Structure 1
Amino acid sequence: MLPSRAVAAAASPIVKPLPASDFIVHGTNAETRWEALRDVGSLVPVSKFFVRNHTSTPLLDGSAWRLRIFGSGVSRPLSLSLRDLRALPSCTVEAVIECAGNGRSFFTTQQGQPVPGTPWKLGAVGNARWRGVPLRELLRLAGVRESAVDVMPAGLDDEYVSGGVNHGRVRRPLPVSKALDDVLVAYEMNGVDLPADHGYPARLVVPGWVGIASIKWLGSLEVSSTPLHSPWDTDFYRLLGPSYPAAGTLVTSQVAKGAFELPWEATLTAGRQLLTGRAWAPGGVRRISVSTDGRTWRRATPVSGGGWTRWQIPWRATPGAHVLRVRVDDQPESAPFNTQGYLFGAVVKHPVTVV
């Protein structure tokens, strides 16, 4: 049984304000509008950071919270308070967190392949500076065994019920090799305590992997000498479809993407424009190219690096309808289809009208 139940129920699935100028709300989720980031630096403010909830944001009592580390893969089970966690040596990491379904709607609108799920465009992603304790240090404190193979982080949000089936709390195993690499147990976001919607009191940050791996409202870490499983790796977050094995392929790392800091179906004035945007990829971005005519490509100029790359490129816009494209490294023109619409990694066609 996990400790630290919510001490109060939020009035809505998401706690923070969701102004229409910054977000598109999809039920329990909120997608960042790209135009809201145009004058924002590399770090996305908490107020504009997207929200992906399976249920509702829990309001947890940090003073009562405990992180349990247990299982056959450790020799010294631990129960850590938030004060204990903050007293350990910490580090800061700038990293992108992105929903596995980011870009899902383009399977339908660009490729004519309808898929279920939240119809994200490209706003289910954000970059922040996270501070916390490397997971490998916590595992070493707990005496991780050489026989350990999996770590199962579990959240403290409400149990997820779908189609009449109770799947329990959100949890998903990580291979111990990844857990010992670059995973962070974070308690700060952009220099402040984690906000409720983003995982208070503590969450995982798993750089380069799909967002479901970065479990929010972390309550426990089971370390096992035998493989662990949950619905979030057996039923959900698997690539299923004609190009994949019958059991599907587990979704782990993200794919490269790029986006313009423009409204969808933007209207611009004819003449000189400075197009801006951001690009990101699990292994970092090597090059960014932009097409304004659908035929030729020009290299964009990087403006800043970090978790993702901000870029810009001038454009002399002529009146009429245009489709803008940004390509990150070797992005393809189409994405392999899967029935849940995960990992859309194709070049997105962004419609713009110039007047």
Structure 2
Amino acid sequence: MPIPSARPPARRSLLKLIASAPVAAAVPLAAGGPAAAATAGIVKPLPPGLFTVRGTNAEADFAAFRDTGPLTPADRFFVRNHTSTPVLSETDWTLTLWGSGLRGRRSVDFRYGELRSMPSVTRTAFLECAGNGRSFYASQQGETVGGTPWTLGAIGVARWRGVRLAEVLRRAGVASDAVDVMPRGLDDAFVSGGVSLGRVRRPLPLAKAMDDVILAYEMNGEPLPYDHGFPVRVVVPSWVGIASVKWVGDIEVSTAPLHSPWNTDAYRLFGDAYPPGGSAPLTRQTVKSAFELPVHASLAAGRTHLLTGRSWSGAAPVRRVEISTDGGARWRPAVLRDAPRRDGWVRWATPWRPGRTGDTVLMARTTDAAGNTQPARSVHNSQGYLFDAVVRHPVTVV
């Protein structure tokens, strides 16, 4: 079914192609090696072809998203752990709110059943590690960075159900002069360089906490899996993943700004392009695109292939996606398969009929509704956060 390459097909024609056109042959990812069936500290299975194990973490294979819908199934959702997944019981779990930002400076406890009995909200939102794409600072830009060498699989989108953090703060008696809240997890203390940094915790401005943050107890209509925060986790839509603390056990509410290693030494931008003390603590994620296609996949010449992928931005809904099949020399628009929306991603597709054999590079470039476009090069920072450049995706036409 040949399709002219000079002009993209109409949406109706493309939808027919989505149902009928072949995708690239599944070729294992070159980077990272096979994932183990399970790894120390992660509860769920991590089968090869779905995950690459990276220390205490598990990166999703982005190509494995191509047969999923807009939501990421829990068994394909990436895992970011500082230590190991705690196996907790909702019957023994208590959330404690405490600190100078509560009226009377008292502490207030909430049991799991109490949260479930409060008015609930449901939000579809992506969670993404701040270091997603970090490996491309080295592989594409030749720059040294520290941290887990993620490709683009440290992201997932889920439908989260829970109670608004604002509701819990009001019931606890938040004071009028409170400025920060700091959720803390129930996982083990994190040790770095022989020094214990305590359990994972990161402050949020009260204004953000009272806006769209939820305490989630369900993921895609089911109780949270252990690896994703059971019994309750924080979900901070569109912000870097460290803000969405898993296994939350207590929340400090303060009338003074709060600090932790996760908003001072880490999750800020350090480097030549930034002040000596680093940038402000990271908040919103950047704009990105990814192909649902293995790296170094083999594609047959003279056949129409359906290239699919996903794009997202923490700043605004996706507005357009452009595709290049020749390393950036020419670009054409992809067809968006979903209505762009805040906090989520958009699936897209475009047909490609390669005529010549040999190696080439696919590229996807996204622009969001706020005018942010993926650049050719990302500004370097020493910890490799917020990579936003167009990613070069090599394939071979045979």
Distance 2:205 2:395 in 1: 43
Distance 1:112 1:103 in 2: 14
In the alignment, which of 275, 280, 292 is matched to residue 307 of structure 2?
Answer: 275
Aligned equivalent of 1:92 = 122
1:66 aligns with 2:104: no
Distance 2:112 2:391 in 1: 42
Aligned residues: 346
Distance 2:336 2:239 in 1: 23
Aligned equivalent of 2:331 = 297
Q: CA deviation at 1:12?
A: 2.2
Larger Rg belongs to: 2
Q: CA deviation at 1:132?
A: 0.2
Distance 1:107 1:40 in 2: 29
Matched letter for residue 328 of structure 1: T
Q: Which consecutive residues of structure 2, in runs of 5 or more, have no partner in the other structure?
A: 1-37, 368-372
Cα 1:64–1:246 shift into 2, 3 Å = same
Aligned equivalent of 2:380 = 337
In the alignment, which of 213, 229, 232 is matched to residue 243 of structure 2?
Answer: 213
Q: Deviations over 1:319-345 (max 9, x none)?
A: 211101101101100001000000000
Distance 2:107 2:119 in 1: 19
1:46-65 correspondence runs (5 A)? 46-65=74-93
Aligned equivalent of 2:361 = 323
1:313 aligns with 2:350: yes
In the alignment, which of 276, 294, 319 is matched to residue 263 of structure 1?
Answer: 294
1:109 aligns with 2:139: yes
Q: CA deviation at 1:237?
A: 0.8
Distance 1:192 1:84 in 2: 18
Q: CA deviation at 1:37?
A: 0.7
Matched letter for residue 300 of structure 1: A
Aligned equivalent of 1:12 = 40
Contact 2:235 2:245 survives alignment (8 Å): yes
Q: CA deviation at 1:90?
A: 0.3
Contact 2:39 2:53 survives alignment (8 Å): no
1:59-208 correspondence runs (5 A)? 59-75=87-103, 77-208=107-238
Worse-matched range after superposition: 114-123 or 74-83: 74-83
What percent of counterpart residues are identical?
A: 59
Q: Deviations over 1:6-38 (max 9, x none)?
A: xxxx98211000001100110110011011111
Matched letter for residue 181 of structure 2: V
Q: Deviations over 1:48-96 (max 9, x none)?
A: 0000000000111210100011111122632111111100000100000
Distance 2:383 2:144 in 1: 9
Q: What's the C-alpha RMSD, in Å, of the aligned pairs?
A: 1.2
Matched letter for residue 188 of structure 1: E
Q: Which consecutive residues of structure 1, in runs of 5 or more, have no partner in the other structure?
A: 1-9
Distance 2:192 2:166 in 1: 34
SS at match of 2:113: helix
TM norm structure 2:
0.85
Q: CA deviation at 1:106?
A: 0.2
Distance 1:172 1:110 in 2: 31
1:351 aligns with 2:394: yes
Q: Deviations over 1:108-159 (max 9, x none)?
A: 0000002121110000000000000011111111121221110000000000
TM norm structure 1:
0.96
Distance 2:107 2:320 in 1: 46
SS at match of 1:100: coil
SS at match of 2:353: strand
Distance 1:155 1:315 in 2: 47
1:287 aligns with 2:320: yes
Matched letter for residue 335 of structure 1: S
Larger strand proportion of the pair: 1
SS at match of 2:318: coil
